[in-house]
């Protein structure tokens, strides 16, 4: 679900996870959810804040995370982002650093 309030985007995502195991034929079920707030400024920079959690993952521990990021929109089709993710519960990794980019391939209007 998404909602735009003035120039701020608010998004909520939820997912059902059915995770297979690398060794063995058993599967596990769980959930994942995220609430994010983002804002793009007139100078093509932007900020993102997110609170997310997952109850089951084959690779990462269960956890609740806070994320903060900066974005830069180089063009209508290319955006760069970088930020930090913090684990908020004892099982979650304490801190993570990320950087990436998004390329739009559809109609940018």
Query: Is 96 within a domain?
Result: yes
pTM score, two decimals?
Answer: 0.80
Please compute the mean of the pLDDT values over residues 97-109 and round it to a whole number.
88
Mean pLDDT of 70-88: 96
pLDDT in tens, 67-78: 999 999 999 999
In a domain, 42, yes or no: yes
User: How would residue 83 be classed by pLDDT, with cut points 50, 70 and 90?
Assistant: very high
82 within a domain of the structure (yes/no): yes
pLDDT value at residue 59: 67
Find the domain containing 92 and state its range: 2-20+28-103
Query: pLDDT of 7-30, one tens digit each?
Result: 999 999 999 988 777 777 888 788
Whether 33 is in a domain gets the answer yes
Q: Is residue 108 part of a domain?
A: no
Domain count, the chain: 1
Q: Residue 109 domain-assigned?
A: no
| Three-state SS sequence of the chain | CEEEECCEEEEEEEEEEEEECCCCCCEEEEEEEEEEEEEECCCCEEEEEEEEEECCCCCCCCEEEEEEEEEEECCCCEEEEEEEEEECCCCCCCEEEEEEEEECCCCCC
């Amino acid at each position: 679900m998404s909602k735009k309030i003035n120039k701020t985007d608010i998004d909520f995502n939820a997912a059902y996870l059915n995770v297979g195991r690398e060794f063995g034929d058993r599967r596990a079920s769980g959930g994942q959810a995220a609430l994010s707030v983002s804002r793009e400024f007139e100078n093509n920079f932007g900020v993102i804040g997110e609170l997310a959690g997952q109850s089951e993952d084959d690779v990462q521990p269960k956890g609740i995370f806070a994320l903060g990021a900066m974005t830069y929109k180089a063009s209508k089709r290319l955006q760069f982002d970088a930020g930090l993710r913090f684990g908020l519960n004892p099982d979650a990794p304490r801190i993570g650093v990320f950087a990436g980019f998004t390329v739009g391939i559809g109609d940018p209007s």
